[in-house]
Amino acid sequence: MLKIGLVATSDRASQGVYEDKGLPALNAWLESALASPWQAMARLIPDDQAEIERTLIDLVDTEGCHLVLTTGGTGPAPRDVTPDATLAVADRLMPGFGEQMRQISLHFVPTAILSRQVGVIRQRCLILNLPGQPKAIAETLAGVIDPEGNTLVPGIFAAVPYCIELLGGPYIETHPTVCRAFRPKSASQPATK
């Protein structure tokens, strides 16, 4: 079964000052997009680099997650340290994910260029830093869609299933109306009912 770690980083939400909206947004999008069985392991933690590093290491090394999605803490402010923590625990960089996330977000806000989102691999797990706002999370995962339903800029999740398979993880099916997973024909399997 696909194991996904969901990590929201926020000082105030982790202290109960306000309700975190990142984890519910991630969970809702994944529920709508994934056709394969999956299990979520959610963590709400402060914007503390050491704590983020410990959480990522635990989700990958101990819990055996195939994918970890973080939300929040990707800007230039001093407390935005999610990318720094992610890079600190990485075995390899996946720069295309960060490039694509900024490309998508630039269609909506000019400040997307301030984002420091990264994608990395730790062991056999893909770790991706997503924005903190629920609307931006969905846009980043699904991409830029025109009013007729045509994809203008592919979302990052289209590449995630095949990446996880290349890392030795499970074969992942998605609901194509939400996100059409891309993989070469040679890597495709017949759809299950």
pLDDT digit string (tens) for 14-27?
A: 666 677 888 999 99
Kindly state the average pLDDT of the residues 78-107: 96
Higher pLDDT, 153 or 94: 94
CA 168 to chain centre: 18
Contact indicator for 143, 151 with CB cutoff of 8 Å: yes
Q: Where are the domains of the chain?
A: 2-187
State the pairing for strand pair 143-145/151-154: antiparallel
Give the amino acid at 150.
N
CATH of domain 2-187: 3.40.980.10
Contact between 108 and 139 (Cβ < 8 Å): yes
pLDDT of residue 83: 97
**pLDDT number for residue 99:** 95
Per residue in 103-140, pLDDT (tens digit) is 999 999 999 999 999 999 999 999 999 998 999 999 99
Angle between helices 134-142 and 22-33 (to 10 degrees): 30
Q: Which amino acid is at 146?
A: D
Residue type, 3: K
Mean pLDDT of the chain: 92
pLDDT at 13: 66
What's the pTM value of the predicted model, to 2 decimals? 0.93
With a cut of 70, say whether residue 187 has pLDDT above it.
no
Closest CA to 36 of 156, 187, 149, 160: 160
Q: Which residues have a Cβ under 8 Å from the Cβ of 191 and sit 6 or more positions away?
A: 173
- Residue 191 clears pLDDT 90, i.e. is over it: no
